[in-house]
Amino acid sequence: MAARYSSIDYVPLETLSQWLAIPTMFTEDRMGMVVTSGIVTIKKDTTNLIGISIGGGAPLCPCLYIVQIFDNTPAAKDGTLQSGDEIVGVNGASVKGKTKVEVAKMIQACKDEVSIKYNKLHADPQQGKTLDIVLKKVKHRLVENMSTTTADALGLSRAILCNDTLVKKLDELEATELMYKKLVDHSKYVLKSFFKLLQVYKAFGDAFAAIGVREPQPRASETFRQFGDCHRQMEKFGITTLKALKPILNDLGTYLNKAIPDTKLTIRKYADAKFEYLSYCLKVKEMDDEEHGYSVLQEPLYRVETGNYEYRLILHCRQEARSRFAQLRSDVLVKMELLDNKHVQDVVWQLQRFVSGLASFHSNVYELLKGNKLFPIETDLAQSAFQYKSTGPVLQDDEDADDDEPVQAMEATENNVGQLSPSKVDPNYITPGHTHTTSQNESQITSTNNIHELISTNQTYDNSQSLNDLILNSENSNLLGASLQTDLSSFQNLKSSSVGQQLSGIWRHHNALLQFEPGRKF
């Protein structure tokens, strides 16, 4: 037995590896996605291209797939191939084990058209919308309202759209909305003020109508009635104008409250699709950088060696997000173009309606007042119509108040001269242009301004009656005489006029006052 196990045969390592047939690459990991095969024939354009970019291939990836399909190219117009689809053959020749450069040369070698055999990847977009994509969307929303310097300082990587003209359009929309809001607010303010003015017209009309009813003069009564009726007609014209101008505010409000918010809703949807598309673009860039880093280190990457299906899923989701983004972008541009046209045409027309309505109102008012030439008129007024009570406090010195006493005066006639008793006269209470009423006899004494009225009206003045009818008792007769001397000095030049005889009686009355003694009766 010992001799039997004394010799041991060893097998070389190279032979063992051949027996075990160890594979150099992993099998494909499709991550639960379905793949279907097909063949498509695409005609080339004038540049001998079909409009696709290729990724993967030997020596790292067993699959050769489509990375991107460019817009307005034969492949995009055909619509069969999509990002993430695997290319199996070109014009009947297999591309297994070939590099992407070799496959590109095979496609360019074909003339006029090329036949491509493919394996279409049926992927669920929700499968590619991972937590990483959601966080990237949030980051893009934050960076959107942040300056480039701040984002770089915070180390926030992001994807941006170059030459995005829609940003300028959005700024113009904000300015248009602000202008419409201020225009509507100002128009409402103008119409409210206009309505208040109409209420003033109505109040004026009622007031003039009431005056006309109480006026005894027939012509003045009719004038006030017509003038009040004109103001009432003005109020009616204004109400009609308000009814015509109110729809203008509704039209402007429709643009402000419906058209612009609808466009903003479309813009919000566009912004969401934009951030999602940029998130997928950023994810693709990060995965490309990861592959490049591993290839530089010459280290294998599991997802690449198993067919890179995860990367192809992101490519497929990016293409669909880009399609939604392009569609919403087109809708936003169309709506904003319509808004601009409506803004240019509608605002001018609405403002013309507004101004025309106000101009029509003022024209009607002008014609209404132009045809009624009512003034001047004659009316009877009471003697106290223009005498107003003082609304301010009367300031008097305490020392003067103690020394002064109120003036008591009465209109005297020849029958009651003997019944009057002397009283103290205060010259401060006799001022030109005022009257004083006594509490006992309720009679009035007029000042020297009555002399002006007497001369201007050329009335007949009885000298003897004036001298005997006016009796004044005063302790300060010299002051009173000086006051009368000052007031009558302006009439010295009138002695030669037609009223000279009237003035002679006034001067005799003045001399009698200068010689007046307290306690003496005439």
Q: Which residues contact 314 (CB under 8 A, 6 or more apart)?
A: 128, 280, 283, 284, 287
Asked if pLDDT for residue 495 goes beyond 80, the answer is no
Residues of the domain holding 290: 166-370
Question: Amino acid letter at 283?
Answer: K
Pair (92, 240) in one structural domain: no
- Give the CATH number of the domain where residue 80 resides: 2.30.42.10
- Report the candidate in 420, 500, 487, 422 with the shortest Cα–Cα distance to residue 458: 500
* Residue 289 confidence (pLDDT) above 50: yes
396: left (phi over 0), alpha (psi -120 to 50) or beta: beta
Q: What are the φ/ψ torsions at residue 43 (nearest 5 degrees)?
A: -85, 140
Last residue of a domain, one of 354, 370, 386: 370
Residue 390 confidence (pLDDT): 67
Residue 28 in contact with residue 307, Cβ under 8 Å?
yes
Over residues 500-505, mean pLDDT: 53
Residues 198 and 314 in one domain: yes
Percent of the chain with pLDDT strictly greater than 90: 7
pLDDT of residue 369: 80
Task: Check which CATH number belongs to the domain holding 261 and give it.
Answer: 1.20.1270.60
Q: Collapse the DSSP code of 184 into the 3-class scheme (helix H, G, I; strand E, B; otherwise coil) and give the result.
A: helix
Shared domain check, 60 and 184: no
Task: Answer whether residue 357 is part of any domain.
Answer: yes
Give the list of residues 6+ apart from residue 263 with CB closer than 8 angstroms, or none: 173, 332, 335, 336, 339
Please give the Cα distance from 31 to 314 (Å, whole number): 13
**Nearest alpha carbon to residue 49 among 108, 109, 117:** 108
* Overall pTM surpassing 0.85 (yes/no): no
Based on the domain organization, do 230 and 354 belong to the same domain? Answer: yes
Same domain, 355 and 407: no
Pair (497, 354) in one structural domain: no
Could you give the number of structural domains in the chain? 3
Q: How many CB atoms lie within 10 A of CB 484?
A: 20
Residue position matching structure tokens 């009814």: 243
Residues 348 and 419 both lie in one domain: no
Domain membership of residue 483 (yes or no) is: yes
Rank 3-7, 102-106, 257-261, 369-373 by mean pLDDT and report only the highest.
102-106
| Residue 7 falls inside a structural domain | no
Residues 332, 432 within the same domain: no
Q: Which pLDDT score is estimated for 449?
A: 44
What does the pLDDT look like over 93-106, one tens digit per residue? 888 888 889 998 99
Q: 501 and 355 in one domain?
A: no
The residue to which tokens 């941006």 are assigned: 160
- Mark which of 370, 387, 419 sits at the end of a domain: 370
- Examine residue 519 and state whether it is found in any structural domain, yes or no: no
pLDDT tens-digit profile of 313-339? 999 999 999 988 888 888 888 888 888
Whether 248 is in a domain gets the answer yes
Average pLDDT of the chain, as a whole number: 72
Question: Is 386 a member of any domain?
Answer: no
Q: Which of 37-41, 148-152, 425-429 has the highest mean pLDDT?
A: 37-41
pLDDT at 413: 42
pLDDT 10s digits, 193-251: 999 999 998 998 899 888 888 877 788 888 888 888 888 888 999 999 899 888 888 88
Which are the contacts of 173, defined by CB distance < 8 A and separation ≥ 6?
A: 260, 263, 264, 267, 336, 339
> Over pLDDT 70: what percentage of the chain?
65
Q: Are residues 349 and 421 in the same domain?
A: no
Mean pLDDT to the nearest integer, 21-25: 44
Q: Does residue 220 fall inside a structural domain? A: yes
Is 13 part of a structural domain of the chain? no
Looking at the fold, whether 200 and 340 belong to one and the same domain comes out as yes
Mark whether 473 and 423 lie in a shared domain: yes
Domain final position from 347, 370, 393: 370
Q: Are the beta carbons of 54 and 100 closer than 8 angstroms?
A: yes
For residue 401 the two structure tokens come to 């108040």
